[in-house]
Amino acid sequence: MAGSGKLTLTGQLGDVMKESAQAALSYIRSNARKFKLKPDFLKGKEIHIHLPEGAIPKDGPSAGITLSMALLSALSGKPASNNIAMTGEITLRGNVLPIGGLTEKLLAAKRNKIKTVLIPFQNKIDLKEMQPEVKEGLRIIPIKYIEDAIPYIFPPKRKTTTKTVKASKTRTK
């Protein structure tokens, strides 16, 4: 929205989530050209992120990648895929850091009928120790950097081919 270039965070966010949102915006700002955004995309604008109050306070170091993708979607005007879950904290350099509670997050994805989950590459080792039924039916994709998520969250548009069928001319006598 129109504004003074600031980031406003409201709702049920703890300090860690606020830091994740700030880090996500800083990373996007410093890499605007890479994301095909104008370098001054924030000039005259304000970003407001609101996470509604729910039963569970949201304050853990695992939302940086999700906030980054949400911001990229809003700033680029590209809709994000709505059938992919992701987890992982980020650094100002775009690294995706490991998280805790991977089993619970994968089970939550399954409960919500999500089949593809992006996880931090460093959490790949946790998959070996996990019960097979937790992973069953999930496509789990380890990622190292913010950019690794982009092809999954913003898949390239498929080219539609239109077949032209010529009607044959038949003569009736």
- Distance of alpha carbon 149 from alpha carbon 9, whole angstroms: 24
- Token look-up 């509670």 returns 101
Nearest to 121 by CA among 87, 151, 91: 87
Contact assessment for residue 31 and residue 70, using Cβ atoms and an 8 Å cutoff: no
Nearest to 60 by CA among 6, 100, 110: 100
**Which sequence positions are flagged as catalytic?**
62, 105
* Strand boundaries in the chain, DSSP class E: 7-11, 47-51, 84-86, 89-90, 96-97, 116-120, 139-143
Count how many residues are written for the chain. 173
Nearest to 146 by CA among 79, 73, 90: 90
Residue 78 Cα to chain centre, angstroms: 12
